[in-house]
Chains A and B, each alone.
Chain A
Amino acid sequence: MTDETIPRRKFLVGAGLAGTAVATGLTQTTPAEAQTPAAPAAPAAAPSPQAEPLLLLNETEHAFVVAAVDTIIPADELSPSGSDCGCATYIDRQLASAWGGGAKMYRAGPYFKGKPEQGYQLPLTPAEFFTTGIAAANAWSRKTYGRDFDRLDPDKRIEALTAMQEGKAAFENFNSRAFFARLLALTMEGFFGDPIYGGNRNKASWRMLGFPGLPATYAHVIDEYRDKRYVAEPQSIADFS
Chain B
Amino acid sequence: MVTRLKEVDAVTIGLGWTGAIMARELTKAGLNVVSLEKGQDRIPGEDFILPQVRDEVRYGQRLELMWDNSIDTLTFRNFANEQALPIRRIGAFLPGEGVGGSGIHWGGLHWRFLPSDFRIRSALIERYGASALPDGMTIQDWPVSYDEMEPFYDRFDKICGVSGKAGNLRGNKVDGGNVFEGPRSDHYPNAPIKSSNAALMFGEAAKSLGYHPFPAPIAIASAPYSNAEGVALGACEYCGYCNRIACETNAKASPNSTILPALRLDPKFEIRTRCFVTKLNYDKDAKKVVSVSYTDMRTGEEYEQPAGIVLLTSYVFSNVQHMLLAGIGEPYDHATGKGVVGKNYAYQFEAGANAFFEDKELNPYWGSAGMGMVIDDFNGETFDHGGLGFFGGGYIMGNTAGAPPIAGRTVPHGTPEWGSEWKRATVKWYYHAARFNTQGSVYANRDNYMDLDPTYKDALGRPLIRLTYNPPDNEFKMSAYLLQKLEGVIKAMNPTHYEMHPRPKTFTVVPYQSTHNTGGTMMGADPKGSVVNRYLQAWDAHNLFIQGASVFPQQHGYNPTGTVGALAYWSARAITTNYLKNPGPLVHA
Contact = CB atoms under 8 A, between A and B. Distances in A.
A209 B235 contact: no
B430 A209 contact: yes
- The prevalent SS among residues of B at the interface is loop
A163 interface: no
A129 B56 CA distance: 23
Q: Is the interface of A mostly helix, strand, loop or mixed?
A: loop
A219 B88 contact: no
A73 B52 contact: no
A205 interface: yes
Contacts of A71: 418-419
Contact of A107 (B57, B70, B420, B457): B70
Interface stretch (B164-172, B177-185, B505-513, B519-527): B505-513
Contacts of A206: 405
Interface stretch (B8-16, B18-26, B259-267, B357-365): B357-365
Contact of A106 (B50, B87, B431): B87
B431 A222 contact: no
A120 interface: yes
Interface in B61-89: 61-63, 66-70, 72-73, 76-78, 82-83, 85-89
Contact of A119 (B91, B196, B365): B91
A158 interface: yes
Contacts of B82: 115
Given A79-B423, A184-B417, A241-B51, A117 B69 contact: no
Interface centre among B67, B196, B361 (most CB of A within 10 A): B361
A192 interface: yes
Contacts of B125: none
Contact of B77 (A76, A118, A161, A189): A118
B576 interface: no
Given A35-B421, A211-B405, A223-B194, A119 B509 contact: yes
A188 B54 contact: no
Given A73-B423, A117-B78, A158-B419, A219 B89 contact: no
Interface stretch (B130-138, B236-244, B379-387, B475-483): B236-244
A215 B62 contact: no
A103 B50 CA distance: 25
Contact of A215 (B77, B89, B237, B421): B237
A183 B162 CA distance: 41
Contact of B69 (A79, A106, A210, A211): A106
B424 A230 contact: no
Interface in A122-177: 158, 161, 165
Contact of A211 (B62, B200, B238, B365): B365
Nearest to B72: A106
B456 interface: yes
A226 B418 CA distance: 31
What's the interface size class on B, roughly? 35 or more
Contacts of A225: 361, 363
Contacts of B237: 215-219
Interface string A199-241: 0000001101111111111110011011111100000010111
19 contacts: A35-B421, A73-B418, A102-B70, A106-B70, A108-B86, A116-B508, A117-B508, A118-B509, A119-B76, A119-B85, A165-B417, A189-B61, A192-B405, A206-B405, A215-B366, A219-B238, A222-B366, A227-B360, A240-B50
Interface of B: 50-52, 54-57, 61-63, 66-70, 72-73, 76-78, 82-83, 85-89, 91, 194, 196-197, 200, 235-240, 360-361, 363, 365-366, 403, 405-406, 409, 417-421, 423-424, 426-427, 430-431, 455-457, 506-510
Interface of A: 32, 35-36, 71-74, 76, 78-79, 99, 102-108, 110, 112, 114-121, 158, 161, 165, 184, 187-189, 192-194, 196-197, 205-206, 208-219, 222-223, 225-230, 237, 239-241
Given A120-B88, A223-B194, A229-B431, 19 more contacts: A71-B419, A72-B418, A73-B423, A99-B62, A102-B70, A110-B455, A112-B85, A114-B83, A117-B506, A118-B87, A118-B508, A121-B85, A196-B55, A217-B239, A218-B238, A218-B240, A225-B363, A229-B361, A230-B366
